[in-house]
């Protein structure tokens, strides 16, 4: 909506400047338009995250990298004192604090740790690449091993590896054959 506002800035300025519309009190000055422009840029990361999770099937291993991406963007924007006004940097700080509150909840969830470690793309390397504390990584690995021991190690395993695979049935239809 803010991007739309920027796109139609001239029309909005014209409408709000007209005394007959009764919108004069909503007219934005140059500084406020600059803040709108900055806010559009800051909110892009949230728009992209929302679009990403809306068009795909979200799963646990995609949440942490998405949160890391948002954190990276907010950190960089907060540090850019030339580009962003104080109010935008303050909003980034509040947003980052909220993100960290949710991010910390993943520390108390064994499911997040296990899902990340078992994901073929991430494994433990993701955490090391992001420079997570080694103690946290070791704890996550211990949680995975404990869960395996508690829930899966006692399950029976079919050790019959010498058995031949079931033959593939051949279905004949008229003059052609099809093997599924």
Give the per-residue pLDDT at 178. Answer: 39
Query: pLDDT tens digits for the chain (180 residues)?
Result: 888 888 888 888 888 887 777 777 788 889 988 999 999 988 998 899 888 888 767 788 888 888 889 998 888 776 776 788 888 888 888 999 999 998 888 878 899 899 999 999 999 998 899 898 999 999 999 999 999 999 998 888 877 665 566 666 665 555 544 344
* 3 state DSSP class of 32: helix
Give the per-residue pLDDT at 29. Answer: 86
Contact in structure between 140 and 127 (CB atoms under 8 Å): yes
The structure tokens listed for 6 are: 């920027």
Q: Select from 11, 5, 82, 81 the least CA-distant residue to 43.
A: 5
Q: What is the dihedral of CA 44, 45, 46, 52, to 10 degrees?
A: 110
Q: What is the dihedral of CA 29, 35, 38, 43, to 10 degrees?
A: -120
What's the pTM value of the predicted model, to 2 decimals? 0.66
> For residues 44 and 107, what is the distance between their CA atoms, to the nearest angstrom?
27
Give the per-residue pLDDT at 89. Answer: 85
Give the per-residue pLDDT at 56. Answer: 66
Give the per-residue pLDDT at 180. Answer: 45
């Amino acid at each position: 909506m803010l991007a739309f506002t920027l796109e139609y800035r001239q029309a909005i300025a014209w409408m709000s400047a007209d005394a007959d519309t009764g919108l004069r009190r909503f007219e934005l000055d140059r500084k406020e338009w600059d803040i709108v422009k900055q806010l559009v840029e800051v909110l892009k990361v949230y728009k992209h995250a929302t679009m990403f999770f809306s068009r795909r099937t979200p799963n646990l291993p995609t949440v942490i990298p998405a949160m890391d991406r948002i954190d990276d963007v907010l950190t960089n924007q907060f540090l850019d004192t030339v580009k962003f006004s104080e109010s935008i940097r303050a909003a980034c700080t509040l947003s980052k604090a909220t993100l960290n509150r949710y991010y910390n909840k993943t520390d108390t969830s064994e499911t997040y740790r296990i899902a990340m470690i078992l994901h073929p793309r991430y494994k433990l390397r993701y955490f090391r690449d992001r420079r997570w504390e080694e103690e946290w990584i070791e704890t996550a690995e211990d949680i995975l091993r404990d869960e395996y021991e508690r829930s899966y190690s006692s399950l029976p395993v079919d050790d019959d590896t010498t058995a031949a695979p079931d033959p593939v049935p051949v279905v004949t239809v008229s003059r052609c054959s099809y093997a599924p």
